[in-house]
C-alpha cells in the first residue's frame, strides 16, 4: 500500500503541474470558451463532432483535471488512513482536496455563468495552493526530511515570520500576473523594465491596462529583491545547514528565471512557450516556499515543546523546593 501511495503522490504532483500549465495555456490562447457554456460536457456532448484548436485545449485541460482530481482524492484518503500519524499529513490531505475542488468550481462557474476578470484571476492562485499541498505530501511520503536531515534545522522566529510574509506576498504577485493575462494586458507596454523606456516616469499617461501591467512588474521586482535579501541572510546565518542554504539557492535561481522569462514575454511578443515557462518557474518557486513554511511550522512547534518542557521542569522544581522547605 505504501508503494501505491508513493506512486499516487508522484502522479498527482506531476498532474498538478499539467493542470497549472494547462490553465495558463487556456488563458493565453483564449480557449476558455472552447466548449461553449457547457460543463462538464463540451458543447453539450461527451465527444464533440466539431473540433477546433480552442476546443482541444479546453477539453484536454478538463480531462486532465478530472483524472488528476481522482488521483488526488485517492492520495488524500490513503495518506490520511496510513500516514495520519505524521503531524502535517491530515491537514495537507484536506487542503489538497479542498482547493482542487474549489479550483474546479471556479472554472466551471466561469464557463457556465461567466465571471469578471478579477474573479478569474483567483483561479491560478487557488491551483497554486493545491499544487503546493500535494507537493508537500509527496515530500513527506518520500521522507525527504529524513534524507536531508531537515529535523536538525531550527529556523529563527523572525525568519519564520519573513518566510510566511514572503509566501503571502508571492500569492499577491501571482494574482496580479493572472490579472494581466485575463484582461489581455500582456503587451500593453512595449518596453521593459519600464512601460516606455523613453519616458519611464510618464505615469499620468498610463491607461488602466498599463497600470495593471506595471503594478505587476513593480510587485514582481519587490519579490525578486526581497528573495535576494533573504537569501543573503540565509547565506550568513544558515550556511552550515544544507537544507536552508541549497534550498534558497534553488529558490533564488527560480525567481531569477521568473524575472528573465517575464521580460522575454515582452521581447518575444508573448511567445507561448516563454509564457508557459514563466508560469512554470513561479509554480516551482512557490513549491519551495511552501516547503520552508512547513519547516518553519515545525521549528515553531519544537520551540513550543521546549518551552512547555522547561515550564514543567520549573514548576516541578518549585514544588520540590517548597516541599523541602516544609
3-state secondary structure 195-213: CCCCCCCCHHHCCHHHHHH
Q: Which residues are CB-neighbours of 125 under 8 A, at least 6 positions away?
A: 171, 174, 175, 178
Burial of 318 from C-beta contacts in 10 A (0-12 / 13-18 / 19+): exposed
Cis peptide upstream of residue 193 (ω within 30 degrees of 0): yes
Instruction: Provide the H-helix boundaries in the chain.
Output: 2-28, 53-83, 89-112, 117-120, 122-141, 144-148, 157-182, 208-237, 242-267, 272-325
Say whether 88 is catalytic: no
pLDDT for position 324: 64
CB 131 within 8 A of CB 267: no
Q: What is the mean pLDDT of each run of 10 residues along the chain (326 residues)?
A: 85 91 83 77 78 86 90 92 84 90 80 71 86 91 67 86 96 93 88 90 90 95 97 92 91 96 91 90 94 90 74 68 63
- The single residue listed with the C-alpha cell 498527482 is 12
d(CA 91, CA 298): 14
Catalytic position from the list 54, 58, 88, 143:
58
**pTM for the full predicted model:** 0.87
d(CA 138, CA 186): 34
Amino acid at each position: 500500500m505504501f508503494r501505491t501511495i508513493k506512486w499516487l503522490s508522484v502522479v498527482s504532483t506531476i498532474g498538478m503541474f499539467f493542470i497549472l500549465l494547462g490553465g495558463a495555456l487556456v488563458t493565453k490562447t483564449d480557449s476558455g470558451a472552447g466548449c461553449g457554456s457547457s460543463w462538464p460536457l463540451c458543447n453539450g456532448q461527451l465527444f464533440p463532432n466539431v473540433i477546433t484548436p480552442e476546443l482541444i485545449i479546453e477539453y484536454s485541460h478538463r480531462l486532465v483535471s478530472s483524472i488528476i482530481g481522482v488521483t488526488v482524492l485517492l492520495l488524500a484518503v490513503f495518506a490520511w488512513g496510513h500516514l495520519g500519524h505524521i503531524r502535517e499529513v491530515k491537514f495537507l490531505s484536506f487542503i489538497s482536496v479542498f482547493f482542487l475542488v474549489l479550483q474546479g468550481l471556479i472554472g466551471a462557474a466561469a464557463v457556465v455563468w461567466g465571471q469578471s476578470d478579477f474573479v478569474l484571476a483567483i483561479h491560478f492562485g487557488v491551483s497554486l495552493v493545491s499544487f503546493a499541498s500535494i507537493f508537500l505530501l509527496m515530500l513527506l511520503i518520500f521522507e525527504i526530511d529524513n534524507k536531508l536531515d531537515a529535523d536538525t534545522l531550527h529556523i529563527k522566529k523572525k525568519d519564520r515570520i519573513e518566510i510566511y510574509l514572503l509566501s503571502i506576498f508571492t500569492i499577491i504577485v501571482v494574482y496580479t500576473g493572472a490579472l494581466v493575462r485575463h484582461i489581455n494586458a500582456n503587451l500593453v507596454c512595449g518596453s521593459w523594465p519600464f512601460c516606455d523606456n523613453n519616458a519611464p516616469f510618464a505615469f499620468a499617461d498610463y491607461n488602466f491596462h498599463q497600470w495593471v501591467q506595471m503594478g505587476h512588474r513593480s510587485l514582481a521586482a519587490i519579490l525578486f529583491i526581497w528573495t535576494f535579501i533573504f537569501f543573503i541572510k540565509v547565506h550568513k546565518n544558515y550556511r552550515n545547514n544544507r537544507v536552508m542554504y541549497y534550498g534558497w539557492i534553488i529558490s533564488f535561481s527560480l525567481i531569477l528565471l521568473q524575472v528573465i522569462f517575464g521580460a522575454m514575454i515582452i521581447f518575444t511578443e508573448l511567445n507561448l512557450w516563454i509564457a508557459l515557462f514563466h508560469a512554470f518557474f513561479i509554480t516551482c518557486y512557490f513549491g519551495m516556499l511552501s516547503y520552508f513554511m512547513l519547516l518553519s511550522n515545525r521549528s515553531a512547534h519544537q520551540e513550543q515543546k521546549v518551552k512547555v518542557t522547561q515550564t514543567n521542569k520549573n514548576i516541578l522544581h518549585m514544588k520540590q523546593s517548597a516541599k523541602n522547605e516544609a
